[in-house]
Structures are given as C-alpha cells and as structure tokens.
Amino acid sequence: MQSKFKRILFGGDYNPNQWPKEVWEQDMAYFKDAHINSATINVFSWAKIQPSENEYNFTELDEIVDMLSNENYDIVMATSTAALPAWMVKKYPETMSTDYEGRHHKFGARHNFCPNSLVYQKYAKALATELAKRYSCNKNISVWHINNEYGGYCYCDNCQKQFRVWLKDKYKTLDAVNDAWNTEFWGHTFYDWDEIVVPNELSEETWGGMTSFAGISTDYRRFYSDSMLNCYKLERDAVKAIIPDALVTTNLMGTFKGLDYFKWAKEMDIVSWDNYPAYDTPWSMVAMTHDLMRGLKDEPFMLMEQTPSQQNWQHYNSLKRPGQMRAQSYQTIAHGADTIQFFQLRRSKGGCEKFHGAVIAHVGTNDTRVFKETAQLGRELESFGTRTLGTRNKSDVGIIFDWDNYWALEYTSGPTQDLKYVDQIHHYYEYFYNKNISVDMIPVDGDFSKYKVIAAPVLYMVKEGMKEKLEQFVKNGGTLITTFMSGIVDQSDNVHLGGYPGRFARWQVSGLRRLTRSHRSSQTL
C-alpha cells in the first residue's frame, strides 16, 4: 500500500525550549551527523504557549518550527494538551481528576485532567485550533500529534453525571440497566438514574481492584474509553477544520488496559505507539505488541517512542546492550513500522525523566556509544530509501484480541487473580513466533475469512453474533483454537446458562468436529 510518508521518519521527541539557543545550533549539527530527519515538538508546552487564560505566545515555538523547517525536518506537531497549565487548575479546579480513592487532585504530574470537564474541553479545542491556524501553511509538518499517551481515570462528579448520560444512551431504560448488571444480586436495584454512582474504591471496587458488579465496572471502562476518545476527536476535528488533509494521530501504549484501541484506531489517520519493553520482556511479546498496533488498522504504523539506551521509570532500568537498539528497531520495521523515533533526542537536565535515555546524553557530545549506534542506524535507514515504506504483512493466522474481554476477564472473581489476559494471548502468539509463522492480531469484528487458523484464547466474553461468526469460519474450512474460560459470559458479564463452555456448548456438529481436531492439532501446527 501507499505509505503516508515520503521517507522513513527517524528522530524523536525534541525539547529545545529546555535549552539556550547555542545548544539548538549544536543539536542541529549533531542530528545531521546522526542522519536524523524528524522531530516531535510541543508535547508539553501548554504553559509556555498559553501563559494565561486569554493570552497566547508562539514566539519560541515559531523559532523552533522555522529552525527545523529550514533543515527540512519532518515535524510531528503535538497539541500540548496532555498536562494542564497551573493557571487553569487555579481558576478551574474541576479540570483536575478525582482518583480511585475519591481524592480530588491538585496541580501537578500529568494524565491529570478530567476528560468530561467542559472547561478542559473548551481550552484544549481552542489551543488545537490556534496551533492549526498558525502552522497550516507549513509543509514540513507531516503529522499532528494530539495530546500524549492518553490514560488515567477520573471519578469526579462530572464523570458520574456523564456516565449516567452514557448509560441512558446505551440502555434507554433503568430496567435494561438492572437486567444487564443483574442488580438483584445483593439487592442493588436502581429506581432512579441519580442512584448510579461511579465504581471506585468508595463504591463497588473495594477489594484489591476487583469488583462486586463486573457489569458496572466493565461499562465504566467502556464509558471512560469513549470519554477520552471524545477528547481526542475534539482536537482532531479542530485541526482538520483548518487543515482538512492533516495526518492526525496520538501515541498509544501497546496492550494498555485502559482504552479500547480497536475503537480508537477507527478515528486515527495512522496508528502510533510507544515501545518500552522491560529488561526481561521476551522478544516475542514485543513482536506481538507490534502486530497488535499494526492490526488496529491493518496498516503500517508509527513507532513514536522508544529509548535508545535505558528507561527511567521501570523497577529495573537496564542499559541496552551494544546492538540491541538496532535489533529492536529492525524488528519494529519488520512488523510494519514506517518510522523509528526516540524519546528523546537530548536528555533533560531535571525532572523525573532526567535519567531516561537520549540520543545526546548529559555529557553533551556525539562520541558516546549510544550516539554512534544511532548514527549507524540512521545511515542504514537512509540507504533504504522508500523500499520498506507501506509494506504489508500477509498472515494465515489471526489471534483475537478484544478489550471488552480483557476488562471482563480480569474483573471476574473466578479462578485466580493471576489469570492475565495479555499473558494468555502471548502464550499462543509465542508458539507461532517460535515457528516463524506470521500472525495478525485481529478484533472480534474483523474479517475472519482471510485466515486459515484463528486462535481465540480465553474468549471469556462472547458478545452477540460472535458464536455464529466463529461457527461460520469453521464451516468454511477454517481451524479455530480456543481454550479454557471461553464462551462463559455475555457482553454484560452475565453467565451464558446451560452448562460450560456456555455459548460454545452447543456447536453444530460440523463445527464441533472441527474444533476437536483443532484442539488436538494445536501442539503440532
């Protein structure tokens, strides 16, 4: 397919605003040595470019954009809305989130905003609009990057009110809500919409992250994913109102539990994500996550962030061995990436990420091992030209990944707290990986006809139409592999009655035979 880029983007997060101008000049020379051709800017600059409610100051950002444009960089322009400015929190404290324990937060950190705050939405949209207006004619801006690593949860009154609105839209009546959540259990029946409260540690989720009512908690996950997505769409639409053909994304986080990325991908022009494996993460797990990101749109993706050396925020932050960064980068390209980008290009001197890896380390020179390895990779990628751009992976095997199932399985108070959805998916992915068999990670509403084999590990939640879809796949000659804890509940986490494995207990005979053979052959594929 046609790539969305004219070259492999090679660069990463760049924060020249943290440094004096003479450092900028040195950076440009060093980046040229490293064959860096792209920079992600303005990620956390809201306070800088909007110092007060009614004032914008783009002077420094203009200088950064001009400098990069003059050097013919591909610019990834972020909208800066991931961390609130202090003035906003001071005047509008409702923009801050309320945590799982019910504490309303003060200014600080990030992932700190309430997505259902109308004030936050107003100013985030306004900022995205101003940025789009100012830089609409700049042809070096290749991608618009909304917010940053959407995540976190809020349980404030705004969210509670919007949750009720969301439920009314989904279920229409309280009777339908009570039925879906089986509120007869423990006498939790609701007779008024205002009786419904958010499920946090003050209400339904009071025992080690588990829940008394999985239906309530799963719906809150769905609602919150939609709430965050609405914020993304608000900014995206603001940019596209000014620049209709803008390429818009936001950086995802692999198997992050909080957001339904298949639903999000439908609203993104290109998928981008941040790859930060731990020192002991199997390469097969990294490969699986790349395939998941590729599978979100069944298209090439952007690697928005990886470290060239070490992380700073994991329990154990090991330095990448010689050649490891290069190998991981090639693995990324092999699984569908059209970009290789780092966090970050120059290491910060302060803040919690001051020891996070960077192309230019604190020593400030271009003769470190990490810089030389980056430069080597840059030369190699540059020599590829466009040969790898837009390439597609063809797979005969699909593995189903479903966020609804993810949430429901890990909320259940069933077999063990150690039953983790992603680990179970990886067990099956790893088998194919070790056999060098290409795999697509696919959604429940994907096109199953493209595959000879579909694996559906721990398909605990079987939503309406799913049983029939899988049955048709088998009837058409496909081989289905499933596992324990499959077929058990519906979309509201209520058990499919009639015996286990629930919805799969009454397969048509032809399907049952195929399933039996699949089970026996799963060790020999």
Q: Which residues are catalytic?
A: 149, 305
Q: How far is CA 398 from CA 222, 303, 393, 440, in A?
A: 24, 22, 12, 5
Judge whether 365 and 32 are in contact, CB under 8 Å: no
Question: How far apart are the C-alpha atoms of 97 and 83, rounded to whole Å?
Answer: 12
Shortest CA distance to 286 belongs to which of 250, 322, 320, 247?
320
Question: How far apart are the C-alpha atoms of 156 and 167, rounded to whole Å?
Answer: 16
Element (H, E) at 348: none
Look at strands 439-442 and 397-400 and give their pairing: parallel
Shortest CA distance to 463 belongs to which of 440, 441, 420, 494?
494
**Up-side HSE of residue 368: CA atoms within 13 Å toward CB?**
16
Is the torsion defined by CA of 279, 283, 288, 292 positive or negative? Answer: positive
Q: Tokens at residue 473, please?
A: 């796949």
Judge whether 77 and 42 are in contact, CB under 8 Å: yes
Question: How far apart are the C-alpha atoms of 51 and 503, rounded to whole Å?
Answer: 57
Q: Tokens at residue 149, please?
A: 């690593």
Judge whether 274 and 307 are in contact, CB under 8 Å: no
Question: How far apart are the C-alpha atoms of 409 and 224, rounded to whole Å?
Answer: 18
Q: Tokens at residue 311, please?
A: 């992380």
Judge whether 42 and 61 are in contact, CB under 8 Å: yes
Q: How far is CA 376 from CA 34, 230, 366, 371, 386, in A?
A: 7, 41, 12, 9, 18
Question: How far apart are the C-alpha atoms of 213 and 207, rounded to whole Å?
Answer: 12
Q: Look at residue 267 and give its three-state secondary structure.
A: coil
Alpha-helical segments (H) within 412-507 = 421-434, 466-475
Residue type, 175: D
